[in-house]
Amino acid sequence: MAEAVAVAVESLAGVKARAARTVLGQVVLPGEELLLPEQEDAEGPGGAGERPLRLNPGVRSRVRVVCGPGLRRCGDRLLVTKCGRLRHKEPGGGGGGVYWVDSQQKRYVPVKGDHVIGIVIAKSGDIFKVDVGGSEPASLSYLAFEGATKRNRPNVQVGDLIYGQFVVANKDMEPEMVCIDSCGRANGMGVIGQDGLLFKVTLGLIRKLLAPDCEIIQEVGKLYPLEIVFGMNGRIWVKAKTIQQTLILANILEACEHMTTDQRKQIFSRLAER
Partner 1 sequence: MKETPLSNCERRFLLRAIEEKKRLDGRQTYDYRNIKISFGTDYGCCIVELGKTRVLGQVSCELVSPKLNRATEGILFFNLELSQMAAPAFEPGRQSDLLVKLNRLLERCLRNSKCIDTESLCVVAGEKVWQIRVDLHLLNHDGNIIDAASIAAIVALCHFRRPDVSVQGDEVTLYTPEERDPVPLSIHHMPICVSFAFFQQGTYLLVDPNEREERVMDGLLVIAMNKHREICTIQSSGGIMLLKDQVLRCSKIAGVKVAEITELIQKALENDQKVRKEGGKFGFAESIANQRITAFKMEKAPVDTSDVGEKAEEIIAEAEPPSEVSVSNPVLWTPGTAQIGEGIENSWGDLEDSEKEDEDEGGSDEAIILDNVKMDTGVDISNIGSQDAPIVLSDSEEEEMIILEPDKSPKKIRTQTIGVKQEKAASKKPMKKRKKKRAVN
Contact positions toward partner 1, by CB under 8 A? Answer: 19, 21-22, 25-26, 37, 40-41, 44-47, 49-50, 52, 55, 85, 102, 104, 119, 121, 131, 133, 135, 157, 159-161, 192-198, 202, 204-205, 208, 237, 243-244, 246-247, 250-251, 256-261
DSSP secondary structure, 209-224, as one string: HHSTT-HHHHHHHHHS
Residue 149 CB, shortest distance to partner 1, in Å, is 25
Please identify, using beta-carbon distances, which residue of 74 and 135 lies nearer to partner 1: 135
Residue 252 CB, shortest distance to partner 1, in Å, is 11
Beta-carbon-side half-sphere exposure of residue 243 (alpha carbons within 13 Å): 0
CA dist., res. 171 & res. 110, Å (int): 9
CA dist., res. 102 & res. 11, Å (int): 27
Answer for the pair 175, 166: CB distance below 8 angstroms, yes or no. yes
Q: What Rg value do the Cα atoms of the chain yield, rounded? A: 23
Please identify, using beta-carbon distances, which residue of 182 and 218 lies nearer to partner 1: 218
Residue 62 CB, shortest distance to partner 1, in Å, is 16
Please identify, using beta-carbon distances, which residue of 53 and 183 lies nearer to partner 1: 53
The angle subtended at Cα 120 by Cα 114 and Cα 125, nearest 5°, is 110
Please identify, using beta-carbon distances, which residue of 133 and 164 lies nearer to partner 1: 133
Please identify, using beta-carbon distances, which residue of 151 and 171 lies nearer to partner 1: 171
Residue 220 CB, shortest distance to partner 1, in Å, is 14
- Residue 253: strand, helix, or coil: helix
**Which letter, b or e, does each residue of 152-181 get, where b requires 16 or more Cβ atoms within 10 Å of its Cβ?**
eebebeeebbbbbbbeebeeeeebbbbbbe
Of 126, 226, 125, 112, residue with least CA distance to 177: 112
Residue 265 CB, shortest distance to partner 1, in Å, is 12
Answer for the pair 204, 192: CB distance below 8 angstroms, yes or no. no
Please identify, using beta-carbon distances, which residue of 21 and 187 lies nearer to partner 1: 21
Residue 183 CB, shortest distance to partner 1, in Å, is 28
